[in-house]
Every structure is written in C-alpha cells, then in structure tokens.
A = this chain, B = another copy of it.
Amino acid sequence: MKTLSVLTTALFFALTITARAQAPEAKLKEMGITLAAPSPSLANYVKAVRTGSLVYLSGHVSNRADGTGIKGKVGKDLSVEQGYEAAKLCALGLLSSLKAEVGDLGKVKRVVKVLGMVNSAPEFADHPKVVNGCSDLLVAVFGDRGKHARSAVGVAALPSDYAVEVEMIVEVE
C-alpha cells in the first residue's frame, strides 16, 4: 500500500514535470508557429549569454528567417497594428535564440524583463500598444511565467530601419 502510494506520487510528479517542460513548445505548435533556426551573429557578439540562472538575449529586430521583415518608423511609415506585428516578430526571434541556448523552452522559469524599442516618429506616443505584440506572444506561450517587467520607448532609429528591436532577460532552470 505504501509502495503504491510512493509510486503514484512519483508518477504524478513525473507527469507534472513532463507537462510543464513541454507546454511552451506544444503551445507554439498549437498556434501554428515554427521557430526558425537563429541566424548567425555577423560580428563580435552572440545572440544569448547565460550567467547563473539568467539568460541575457541580444536585441532582436523585426525580421523573419526568410530575410524579409517589417521596416520603417511607427507613427509615420507604419500603423500601430503593423508595429504590433513587428514586435511579435521580435518575440519569435528571441524565442528561437533562447531555444538554441537552453535546448527546450520548457526550462523557462520566468521571463524577467523586456526592453522594447520602437523605431518611432518624434510625435508617436503609443509605444505600449506596439510592444504588446511581444508581450502578448510571451504570455500566450508561457502563461503567468511569461509575465515580465517591461519598458517600452521610442528610439530615433534602428539597425537597417527595422520597426522594432526587443532585448530580454529570462530566468531558466
């Protein structure tokens, strides 16, 4: 009886851990999203650095694996909705680099911090609605563990005129 109880408990924990570990990637699949392999860094920096339980991810711009992307200044060349899509692309790039670093997105304990930088016309003022494109995806994939501290600001210009750049800090197992 006692042995059965121990076995049941062990099984319960094994299933819980499995479910937890697979959840984010299963969720991505359910959303019809396939993460591309991260593009190589073209200079003396890398996409991600782990120190202790934290992974620091480089700023990822609103490009796609196929070389296309969303470019231009939000509030001038692009609408808020287009900016939202651009921030979502940043999130997908970040997740791709994070997966390459830790192996399985199920190891994410918490998305700690997001800095969303919007390529912004000087009079634009809806940066939070743009950066929500990144935040919403993170919470859709990780649930409460995806809720992060965040800054959303408008910068003067971004590399190759991409619409959004986002950097992120993640706590992992």
Contacts and interface: CB of A to CB of B under 8 A. Distances in A.
Interface in A119-139: 120-128, 132, 135-136, 138-139
A23 interface: no
Given A155-B156, A157-B124, A110 B45 contact: no
Nearest to A148: B45
Given A56-B113, A122-B157, 13 more contacts: A44-B136, A45-B149, A49-B110, A49-B112, A51-B110, A58-B151, A117-B153, A120-B157, A124-B157, A125-B160, A128-B159, A153-B165, A154-B158
Contacts of A56: 112-113, 149, 169
B45 A153 contact: no
Interface residues of A, number: 58
Q: Which of A114, A154, A159, A160 lies at the interface centre, i.e. has the most chain B CB atoms within 10 A of its CB?
A: A159
21 contacts: A43-B128, A43-B136, A44-B139, A45-B114, A47-B149, A49-B110, A49-B147, A49-B149, A51-B54, A51-B110, A51-B171, A57-B149, A58-B149, A115-B151, A117-B151, A123-B157, A124-B157, A127-B157, A153-B157, A153-B158, A154-B158
